[in-house]
Amino acid sequence: MKKIASNKLDNIKTSIFSIMTEMANKYNAINLSQGFPDFPGPEFLKDAACKAIRENKNQYVPSIGIPELREAISRKYKRFYNLDFDPNTEITVFSGATEALYSTLSGILNSGDEVILLEPCYDAYAPVCDFNYSKPKYIRLEYPDFKISQGQIQEAFNENTKCIIINTPNNPTSRVFDKNELKLIGDLCVENDCYIITDEVYEHITFEKTHTPMASIKGLKDRVITISSTAKTFSLTGWKIGFALADEDITRPIRNFHQFVTFCTPGPFQYAMAEAMDLKPNDPYFKNLKEQYLERRNLLNSKLIEVGLKTIPTEGTYYIVADISSFKITNDVEFCEFLTKKIGVAAIPMSAFYYHENKVDKLIRFCFSKKIENLEMAAERLENLKSYLKE
């Protein structure tokens, strides 16, 4: 029989998140691998979605998103970041940031275009480049500070470079990129006439540092495609409400592609999220979100350090990167398997976020968007790690 799978999938393996979650379930481990909260999202949003369903707002909605949500997103960007986006021509709603990224890259890439990726990076970027027959070009952010440096980035640009993908706050490194780092990238994109796709899904989960939206850097707004999502901010990852904001000329091809992917995103969740987008920056919701994640971060971080894992300070997101070099098992994949099966805590091997040869294989990523009691239980189990330290 003819080969059934498309050649596009030759490099695609089952996602590490599915593998680790399955392993966690099988061995009854506390799942600190996949990035989703194990606590419920806000009541007012669940009520709003139920209300929309009961009011029979259950048919197809406009492909670009309901006007109520696009207008609320526009108000939000003005209120939080002083950025102006026209809800009719510059804002589009998608089924999660994942679909926004897929439709954006598919809407703008041609075969042979190059896309600069900063590795380690979120695992959805490279496959979508492959699906569009474009070539990812990787720039390594060096452990332990994962800073963006001029020389390396400069070298990555050439006449085939169409765009760069930035992710701040960053998964998996937990960095919140500085204004200077973003400006450096912006200047190079202007110089080389490239677009910037910025994935800002963790925009509201930052700690000692504040998030700078790429579009707010002077002179960049007309070449930036901002992608964000309500999943992480409102702890409702299953609703898959994401959006993209970009200049009208960039938005047009993205919308054209999107109409043949999902056509539209479920209406009741959009009506609910329109309410979420209207929260003011000083609403207690945002303060609580930070405080609760800070408590969780500090709880897990101090335990990881206590049992002998070196950690990198989490500036944003709900992940902690830990260095396993002081343990007898020094390979990240083997360590995560051991951690899940023998210690009862699941994490993600960071090599899953690298695509080059010489992957960094001594780091693992823990997720702390879990109930305090589950983090405490994980902390108790992690005590047993101490006996596996090198002599």
What number of chain residues touch ligand PLP (CB under 6 A)? 14
Tokens 């000329």 -> residue:
249
Tell me the three state secondary structure of residue 251. helix
Question: Measured in whole angstroms, how far is the alpha carbon of residue 38 from the centre of its chain?
Answer: 17
Q: How far is the CB of 233 from ligand PLP (least distance, A)?
A: 10
Distance CA 38, CA 288 (A): 17
Q: How far is the CB of 27 from ligand PLP (least distance, A)?
A: 23
The residue count of the chain comes to 391
Q: Between 216 and 369, name the residue whose CB sits nearer to ligand PLP.
A: 369
195 strand-pairing partners: 163
Site track 19-38 with ligand PLP (rule: CB under 6 A), x = hit:
----------------x---
CB 311, CB 304: distance < 8 Å: yes
Q: Between 223 and 240, name the residue whose CB sits nearer to ligand PLP.
A: 240
Q: How far is the CB of 266 from ligand PLP (least distance, A)?
A: 13
Find, among 240, 182, 236, 237, the residue nearest to 214 by Cα: 182
Tell me the three state secondary structure of residue 276. helix
Q: Between 15 and 331, name the residue whose CB sits nearer to ligand PLP.
A: 15
Tell me the three state secondary structure of residue 117. strand
Q: Between 121 and 382, name the residue whose CB sits nearer to ligand PLP.
A: 121
Q: Between 237 and 314, name the residue whose CB sits nearer to ligand PLP.
A: 237
CB 197, CB 163: distance < 8 Å: yes
Q: Between 199 and 337, name the residue whose CB sits nearer to ligand PLP.
A: 199
Based on its alpha-carbon atoms, the radius of gyration of the chain, rounded to whole angstroms, reads 21
Q: Between 235 and 303, name the residue whose CB sits nearer to ligand PLP.
A: 235
Q: Between 35 and 349, name the residue whose CB sits nearer to ligand PLP.
A: 35
Q: Does 316 bind ligand PLP (CB under 6 A)?
A: no
Q: How far is the CB of 154 from ligand PLP (least distance, A)?
A: 25
Q: How far is the CB of 47 from ligand PLP (least distance, A)?
A: 22
Contact positions with ligand PLP (CB under 6 A) in 95-134:
96-98, 122
Site track 159-198 with ligand PLP (rule: CB under 6 A), x = hit:
--------x---x---------------------------
Tell me the three state secondary structure of residue 138. strand
Q: How far is the CB of 37 from ligand PLP (least distance, A)?
A: 11
Cβ-proximal residue to ligand PLP, closest one: 96
Q: Does 199 bind ligand PLP (CB under 6 A)?
A: yes
Q: How far is the CB of 93 from ligand PLP (least distance, A)?
A: 11
Q: How far is the CB of 38 from ligand PLP (least distance, A)?
A: 14
Distance CA 93, CA 80 (A): 19
Distance CA 174, CA 122 (A): 11
Distance CA 24, CA 336 (A): 10
Q: Between 265 and 385, name the residue whose CB sits nearer to ligand PLP.
A: 265
CB 92, CB 254: distance < 8 Å: yes
CB 134, CB 162: distance < 8 Å: yes
- Going 303 to 308 to 309 to 315, the CA torsion angle's sign is positive
Q: Between 21 and 98, name the residue whose CB sits nearer to ligand PLP.
A: 98
Q: Does 41 bind ligand PLP (CB under 6 A)?
A: no
Distance CA 48, CA 55 (A): 10
Identify the H or E element spanning 198: strand 195-199
Find, among 98, 94, 128, the residue nearest to 113 by Cα: 128
- 239 CB contacts (<8 Å, ≥6 apart)? 49, 230, 231, 266, 269, 272, 273
Q: Between 97 and 109, name the residue whose CB sits nearer to ligand PLP.
A: 97
Distance CA 20, CA 3 (A): 29
Q: How far is the CB of 171 from ligand PLP (least distance, A)?
A: 4
Contact positions with ligand PLP (CB under 6 A) in 59-98:
96-98
Contact positions with ligand PLP (CB under 6 A) in 227-246:
229, 231, 237, 240, 242
Which residues here bind ligand PLP, judged by CB under 6 A?
35, 96-98, 122, 167, 171, 199, 201, 229, 231, 237, 240, 242
